[in-house]
A and B are shown apart, each in its own frame.
Chain A
Amino acid sequence: MQQTGSQVLFTALKEENVDTLFGYPGGCVMDIYDEMSRQQIRHILVRHEQGAVHAADGYARASGRVGVCLVTSGPGATNTVTGIANAYMDSIPVVVLTGQVPTAIIGSDGFQEVDITGITRTCTKHNFLVRDIGDLHRTVREAFQIARSGRPGPVLVDLPKDVIQSVTEAEPLRTAVSPVEEGCPDLEGLCNEALKMLLQAKKPLIIVGGGVILGKASEIFRAFARKFRIPVVSTLMGLGAFPASDPLWTGMLGMHGAYSANMAVSQCDLLMAVGVRFDDRATSKVSAFAPHARIIHIDIDPVSIDRIVRTDLAIVSHCIPALKTLHRLSDEQGLTPPERQIHAWRNQLLQWKAEMPLGYCRNQNIKPQYVIEKLHQLTQGRAIIATEVGQHQMWAAQFYRFDDPNAFLTSGGLGTMGFGLPAAIGAQVACPDRIVVDVAGDGSIQMNIQELGTIAHYGLPVKVVILNNLYLGMIRQWQELFYGRRYSQSDMSQAPDFVKLAEAYGIKGLRATKPEEVKRVLREGLETPGPVVMDFHVESEENVFPMVKPGTPLTEMAFGNVRAVA
């Protein structure tokens, strides 16, 4: 049977169980879009190609499956680069299909030609330029395999127009794409060693990271931490892997981490890091990080080991087999938590938590933290929260108190403003029955505001919560604290009326300007079917605390005026 390149592409996508593409048509992918009309596949037409990648990324984060986007050559392809880099930094499995000019024209500066494999070489896990229809099927399958295996990441496949248009007689091979995963050679020995270290410790602590969520290992992770009753701190990306409502929960660590978490890391004598890469925002001054601790590091990527923080025991493995082995070995050997030995330590952590919880001062203005608290309350903590980047992102991380994995979709590594709205679209498409909220700032929301059009187009019930302080708030905070209050170019008071803007898109808009309106607006927004934009005029110069100045030890936290109240 004859097949065109487009048909081969859709065959491969179906074999990968792709149900949704996020994309935007253009000259070099018109044949694919034409074929799409005959295929059973959902396509979400975004309003900008950056939105397509972020949506695929949000789809992947919320569902644990590979997100897929399709864009044209040239500007379509370059518009995806930020989204690709974003997925790369956070290890999100995304496949980006880009159109390309015909192979005969490649290299001649043709119309809408760009060397996208060259451009994305350092921000993809891998990329391909398919020059022959005979390679198309295998390459697309391989792209998915690479995206999801090991430490996941984005893979780009560049598809020249003539390859897509050409016809093949060959039946696409139903090749099982060979799994490249290899287990850790001496997992049992290493796990025995880890258990020995854990049981010797008097002040043990676990850091959980995004790798546990990506590895779908939250459940077994929780079981392990609870079995040994070891306190848990989390990185930004790990939020939700361990429930914030658990008594062992000690908070998020890092620049805006909880007092208890940063103190715990700084005083523990054993630190078991699971699925983390020790970002500088998490460790702050590396030489002062966990200074008293022996460190066990479990991670699938050998590059992460000994890269930032020197480990005493490294286990290069997926989280599930490592944690399962730890469980099994401790069962077989009848190991029990060293209760008496770590009792004093756990009390110390409880004391730190009680002494200095995350807090803020109330006044006659809406406090952004209060909005997040109420959002948590009204959604019973069960919403999927996407964020943009900045102060609102940190407040969401601090005050939403995540209990579930795959529920906090945030640009942790790259820090991409404009991520949240399209990511929420992807999450809502993946999880139509969940409440999906984009917590945004007034600056960030304007970076991909055009995606309100997508939300309206598909009637996606995404709720947008704008914490509107008329500033680029995090920039302003740094200027206040480190640049002598010189608010250079961080004033955003020339802002659109977000309610009217929403209405222009055919979306319901609500506003709150006083604390007593917050609950009513949130309730109305959440109860209204379909998309809603909620504009909260919050305290304009509120700061995110605690704050560790970059380059200083985690123990050197500034609390602003929070301390007085806490």
Chain B
Amino acid sequence: MPVQFKERAISVVVNNRPDVLARIAGTFSARGFNIESISANITRNPAVTKIIITTLTTPETITKVIKQLNRLVDVLEARRLRRPQAVCREMIIARVPLTKERQAAIQELIDTRGGKTVSIEPGSAVLEFTGDREDLEEILTRLESLGMEDFSRTGVIALERSKS
């Protein structure tokens, strides 16, 4: 059977301490696992941070990673988020030049892809889009054709669709 390398998501709830990200990153690097994307922020309790990490692995490896993470003292809970039971989203903000000829195309992209304009300056606009990885790849291709100057992209955030 071919080894199934796929991007898989882990939710890690941790104590919000200065070195906790280093510990988690260290757990990945020391054991030879690679982080594809990471997204972290505090929860409603500012002493607790939730981190979503995606990694390109086999099902077997991800189980090992999660065990290693759960062994860290500052990790309160590490678990796998399985698709399709979980939704995975990312966000991009992208700066595009504003010209008369392109205005209609930009507006069309915003309308069809649920984007919005977050800043307009003379000559350029910053647009915001969310979606899953495939959506965003497509949107980025479109934005490139609109002369995109620069963009910034978050890591994946993910949540289960219902309480399990």
Contacts and interface: CB of A to CB of B under 8 A. Distances in A.
Do A and B interact?
A: yes
Interface of A: 117-118, 121-122, 125-126, 129, 146, 301-303, 305-307
Nearest to B70: A302
Contacts of B134: none
A51 B146 CA distance: 66
Contacts of B68: 303
Given A122-B30, A303-B64, A117 B71 contact: no
B1 interface: no
A386 to B, nearest CB: 29
Contacts of A129: 19
Given A302-B67, A303-B67, A303-B68, A125 B73 contact: yes
A122 B70 contact: no
13 contacts: A118-B19, A118-B22, A121-B19, A121-B26, A122-B26, A126-B73, A129-B19, A302-B67, A302-B71, A303-B67, A303-B71, A306-B63, A307-B64
Contacts of A305: 67
Contacts of B23: 121
Nearest to B29: A122
Q: Chain B's interface: helix, strand, loop or mixed, by majority? A: helix
Contacts of B72: 126
A41 to B, nearest CB: 27
Nearest to A151: B71
A307 B71 CA distance: 14
A126 B30 CA distance: 15
Nearest to B68: A303
Name the residue in A117, A126, A146, A303 with the highest tally of chain B Cβ atoms < 10 Å from its Cβ.
Answer: A303
Nearest to A180: B73
A313 B30 CA distance: 28
A377 B26 CA distance: 48
Nearest to B30: A122
Nearest to A307: B64
A301 B26 contact: no
B86 to A, nearest CB: 23
A117 to B, nearest CB: 7
A410 to B, nearest CB: 24
Contacts of B19: 117-118, 121, 129
A269 B16 CA distance: 48
Contacts of A117: 19
A299 to B, nearest CB: 12
- Sort A-B residue pairs by CB-CB distance and give the 6 closest, nearest first: A126-B73, A303-B67, A122-B30, A302-B67, A122-B26, A121-B26
Nearest to B22: A121
Nearest to B69: A303
Contacts of B64: 303, 307
A301 B72 CA distance: 12
Nearest to A304: B67
